[in-house]
Structure formats: structure tokens, C-alpha cells
Amino acid sequence: MTTAFLRSRTGSWSRALRDAAVITGTIASVWLLVIYWDAMVKLLANDGLVYWGVDPAAPYAGATVGGQGAYLYSPAFTQAFMPFRMLPREAFAIVWSALILAAAVWMARAWPLMLLPLFLPVLQDVMIGNIHILLALAIYLGFRWPATWAFVLLTKVTPGVGLLWFVVRREWRSLAIALGTTAAIVVVSYVVAPQQWADWLGLLRKDGGQESSRLLLRLVAAAALVTWGALTDRAWTVPIAAMLALPVIWMDSFAMLIAAVALKVRPPASVRQKTASATARSDVPVAPAA
């Protein structure tokens, strides 16, 4: 009875905190939207058009981490993006934004209210066409299909710290799938464009960007967060840690939190099963010693 009472009280506090977060976050989103609206309109489809318009033969010419219009993703992403480059500019902008929006709506289906406090970063990511929501989707799906982590490792790279989840939990098969898929894509891509891979790796080695002095601290914090989450069955910590580990954090980077909320509301089956087993064990009364 005591356990049931404590759970009821804990649930009430959780709902109260959740509702307060929704209200506060929604007010903040609306306020910031008014402030940043003009700037967002000026950057409409800006990042997406960088992916669309990059020269596949020399994608990293003049690129710097955090620089305006810089293209920083791996040659594998450049090659995979080729079908989108076949679209006219306006058609691409519409299709790309619709794809990002669809990913956000799909992740929010478990609790649509999450889109209210995250409205500004989600809207900005959709409008400018960055890949933060797609990263969130890859991480969300990665608990069931670890191969989707290849998208994370071959674009922003450092959010791959989230793979520590599999290391801490000794889920070696999932880790092998994630790394093996990435390696296979790299091999095929390298055969097609070896010079582009040399250029990309050279860019990563020489340019840490404007956040380089703080990135190491953020990576340490992200690793600690994932480790704690893995030890306590909190899958929602992984997208938060991945966001902390981004090379540069922008306003639209916070759109990645949509995956954290989705994982909190609807955690992966493996996590639910382990948590349920642990709860069942804790509820079993201990027989008094004879």
C-alpha cells in the first residue's frame, strides 16, 4: 500500500512538472518566435539549399565549422543526397521541409503537446532545412534499428557519443550493427570518392570551429549523461546528450529534444521490459529470516 501511495504521489508531481514545462515552454517559444521571426524568414531554406547546391567534386572548399553556408558532412551524405539535387530549387525546398516536418510530427504522435514548448526550434529547423530533427529521428529509431546511427556518425559526427548507451549496457550486437553499417557505407563511399574523404577528414582535423574550446567539456558532460541514462534505463537521456555533443549548438538544435520527449513517453521495448522486470523484483516481499 505504501508503494502504491508513493507511486501516486510521484505521478502527481510528474504531471504537475510536465504541465508547468509545457506552459512555460510554450510562452517562451511564442516570445522568442516574435523576436526571431524576421531572421528566420531571411534564412528560409538556407541550410537545406547548402546541401542541395554543394559541388560534389569539391564540397569542402572554404568550409569552416560554424561558418555561414559551410558544408561539413561526410562524402557519404553528399552522395546520398544526389537524388534531391535532381529536383528544381523550389521543389527541393518544399520536399525537404515536408520531410523534416513529417519526421517531427511522427515522433510527436505519442504526445502531440510536446510540439508546443518545442515549437520554435522545430519550426526553425523545418524552415531553414537543417538536419537536427532527422538526427533526432535516427536516434529514436536507433534503439530498435541501430543501423540508423550511421546517419548521425556520417553527418554531425560528435553526437555519436550516444553510442555509449550500447557500451554501458553491453548490447554488443546493437553496437556492432551501428558501427558495421557505418563502416560499410564508408568503404563504398571511399571507393567512389577517395579525395573527398581525404578533404573531409583534413577539415575535421584542422578546424574545430568557434565552439572547439567548449566542445570537449560538452562531450564529457554528454558521455556522463548517457552513462547515467544507460545504467538507470533512461533512454531519453541519449538525444539530450547527442544535442550537447553537437559541434555547434544553435536555436534549432533544441529540436532534437523532441526525441527525448518521445522516448520518455514511449521508451523502447527493450527498456520497458528491463524496467518492468526490475520493478517486479522490487515489489516482491522479502520473506523474514527463519
- The residue with greater pLDDT, 207 or 112, is 112
pLDDT tens for 123-146 read 889 999 999 999 999 999 999 999
- Residue 8 burial (CB count, 10 A): 10
Phi-psi region of 34 (alpha: psi -120 to 50; beta: other; left: phi over 0): alpha
In a domain, 16, yes or no: no
What grid cell was written down for 121?
526550434
Q: pLDDT at residue 244 above 90?
A: yes
In a domain, 153, yes or no: yes
Split into its structural domains, the chain has a count of 1
In a domain, 240, yes or no: yes
Highest mean pLDDT pick, 64-78, 104-118, 244-258, 263-277 = 244-258
- Residue 90 burial (CB count, 10 A): 9
Cα angle 193, 137, 124 (rounded to 5 degrees) comes to 90
Residue 175 confidence class, pLDDT cut points 50, 70, 90: very high
3 state DSSP class of 127: helix
- Residue 98 burial (CB count, 10 A): 11
User: With 0-12 CB in 10 A as exposed, 13-18 as middle and 19+ as buried, what is 20?
Assistant: exposed
In a domain, 283, yes or no: no
DSSP state of 110: G
The pTM of this model reads 0.83
Residue range 19-43: mean pLDDT, rounded: 65
In a domain, 31, yes or no: yes
Cβ–Cβ under 8 Å, residues 238 and 165: yes
pLDDT tens for 80-136 read 999 999 999 999 999 999 999 999 999 998 888 777 778 888 988 999 999 999 999
Residue showing cell 514511449: 266
Residue 161: domain span: 21-273
- The residue with greater pLDDT, 62 or 163, is 163
In a domain, 203, yes or no: yes
In a domain, 284, yes or no: no
In a domain, 281, yes or no: no
> Which of 184, 154, 183, 179 shows the shortest CA–CA distance to 164?
179
